[in-house]
Amino acid sequence: MDYIINGGARLSGEIADYGAKNCALALLGATVLTDEQVVLHNCPSIVDVENMLLLLSSMGKRISRSDDTVSVSGALTTTSAPRDIANLLRGSALVLGSTVAKYHGANLPLPGGCAIGSRPMDIHLNGLKALGVTVDSSDDMVICKGKPVGAQYTLRMASVGATENMLCACALAEGESVLANCAMEPEVTALEQLLVKMGAKIQGVGTSTLKIVGVEKLHGAEFDVIPDRIVAATYISATVATMGDVTITNCNPLHMQAFLNVLIPHAYIKQYDNAIRVMVNKTPNGYGKIVTAPYPLFPTDMQSLLLSLASCCCGRTQIVEKLFENRLLHNAQQLNKMGARITVNNDVANIEGSSLCGAQVTAYDLRGGAGLVIAALNATGTSSVSGIEHVNRGYVNLAQNLRTLGADINVIP
Ligand code: EPU
């Protein structure tokens, strides 16, 4: 699928954010912890979430969806995740901790590296080993056996997925666990809050040290998936790139302070409780030096968006990508086809702002694809962005929503 974009149209109007993919995936993984019904509202209808639901139903869970409300109930009928479905999304790894916790075993095919980097699982697996689980892993498969027993574990890096798997494993473990250097992303905190609603005993919610006293059983609960901060940042970036005036509703500005702080010197940004208005009337200057890091610092997922903004501003920016080794290079090469002036040296990109012009470019990953769309909205002339399948994994109706805001964008199936 391609997008054909005629750049230059100024975006204006209002657009509503929706539930976060990475929150929905983590909460869905946690539904394995109970046979009772877990009801998730604001659950976005995107390819990754639908594939996660497919994975859960293929393992025995009963699923029903009514608009953005998803209900999951019942017990697993197998603790082996089918390879063809598990390989559809990296988020499939988020059933590991919950399956081991409730069923004392799990067989999970590992999806391996992807376009953004090698994405190892050592922190997840060492964490489970620390809980006394026997872990047998090869390149493409992990087999876990044994009931988790509470322990102290310090994550080597504040990994989002490893924190989420460990939280689920510890929630039903025997005894007390202390997890240190945990990720504090809002999606992780949301998982902690859902687990507490399900009866888990967690101290330190929202912090980097979590004390979890395992319980025998968790029960059903109802929960709202938090707004997608990366989607909100995408519409904000599209507004900055087109010097527009757009209000994003149903979002949480508190979850995106690091990103907003980078833009504030260049744009009028008004923050409300659950909305953000962005208005730009002159071409931004360079954005300085940005280093990606775990929350609450500047997120890697918004780096691809900023790379595009830095390419079409009128000054210098340096971006250092600390988390995913391939995330800079792919997009820099594509943006340079549009006339950007980006040089990449390992994890550092130096960007000299310039005028972009339409070109044929290819998305290699989800956020990279969104970044290319933003650049194309700014560029003079027509661009075609291929590889939109990646974008559809995490965005609901991106082209249609941008069109509502005034963009000239068409979809070629
Ligand atoms: N890491 C390891 N070993 C591990 C786990 C992670 O070395 O066992 C490294 C990774 O290679 C990376 C860093 O730790 O360098 C952080 O990775 P993390 O585990 O935090 O990432 P993740 O859980 O695999 C989630 C999101 C990503 C997002 C990252 C960082 C989900 C489903 N995915 O991935 O989202 O970029 O956190 O915030 O929650 C996306 O939405 O497009 C996306 C890639």
Tens-digit pLDDT profile for the chain (413 aa)?
999 999 999 999 999 999 999 999 999 999 999 999 999 999 999 999 999 999 999 999 999 999 999 999 999 999 999 999 999 999 999 999 999 999 999 999 987 657 788 889 999 999 999 999 999 998 889 999 999 999 999 999 999 999 999 999 999 999 999 999 999 999 999 999 999 999 999 999 999 999 999 999 999 999 999 999 999 999 999 999 999 999 999 999 999 999 999 999 999 999 999 999 999 999 999 999 999 999 999 999 999 999 999 999 999 999 999 999 888 999 999 999 999 999 999 999 999 999 999 999 999 999 999 999 999 999 999 999 999 999 999 999 999 999 999 999 999 99
CA distance 54 to 179: 31
Q: 204: exposed, middle or buried (C-beta count within 10 Å: 0-12, 13-18, 19+)?
A: middle
For residue 48, the ligand 1 atom closest to its alpha carbon is: 32
- Among 247, 230, 245, which Cα is nearest to 15's? 247
300 ligand 1 Cβ < 6 A:
yes
Q: 131: exposed, middle or buried (C-beta count within 10 Å: 0-12, 13-18, 19+)?
A: buried
119 ligand 1 Cβ < 6 A:
yes
Give 157 Cα–ligand 1 centroid separation in angstroms.
10
CA distance 50 to 92: 11
Residue appearing with tokens 């500047």: 298
Task: List the structure tokens of 334.
Answer: 């594509």
For residue 22, the ligand 1 atom closest to its alpha carbon is: 39
In 25-154, where do the E strands start and end? 38-41, 62-66, 69-73, 105-109, 134-137, 141-145, 152-154
Residue appearing with tokens 């890697």: 300
List phi, psi (to 5°) of 268. -85, 120
Q: What is the residue with the minimal CA distance to atom 12 of ligand 1? A: 323
Task: List the structure tokens of 378.
Answer: 């700014």
Cβ–Cβ < 8 Å for 358, 367: no
List phi, psi (to 5°) of 73. -150, 175
DSSP code string of 212-254: EE--S----EEEEPPB-HHHHHHHHHHHHHTT-EEEEES--GG
pLDDT of residue 113: 59
120 ligand 1 Cβ < 6 A:
yes
Give 280 Cα–ligand 1 centroid separation in angstroms.
32
pLDDT of residue 110: 86
323 ligand 1 Cβ < 6 A:
yes
159 ligand 1 Cβ < 6 A:
yes
pLDDT of residue 338: 98
For residue 389, give Cα distances in angstroms to 137, 152, 195, 328, 377.
Answer: 30, 41, 32, 20, 19
Active-site option among 23, 43, 114, 312: 114
Give 295 Cα–ligand 1 centroid separation in angstroms.
12
Q: What is the residue with the minimal CA distance to atom 10 of ligand 1? A: 119
For residue 121, the ligand 1 atom closest to its alpha carbon is: 8
Cβ–Cβ < 8 Å for 26, 190: yes
For residue 366, the ligand 1 atom closest to its alpha carbon is: 42
303 ligand 1 Cβ < 6 A:
no
Q: 73: exposed, middle or buried (C-beta count within 10 Å: 0-12, 13-18, 19+)?
A: middle
182 has catalytic annotation: no
Give 131 Cα–ligand 1 centroid separation in angstroms.
22
- Among 348, 343, 351, 279, which Cα is nearest to 314's? 351
The DSSP secondary-structure symbol of 174 reads: B
Give 410 Cα–ligand 1 centroid separation in angstroms.
32
For residue 119, the ligand 1 atom closest to its alpha carbon is: 11
- Using most ligand atoms within 8 A of CB, pick from 160, 228, 328, 390 the residue to mutate for ligand 1: 160
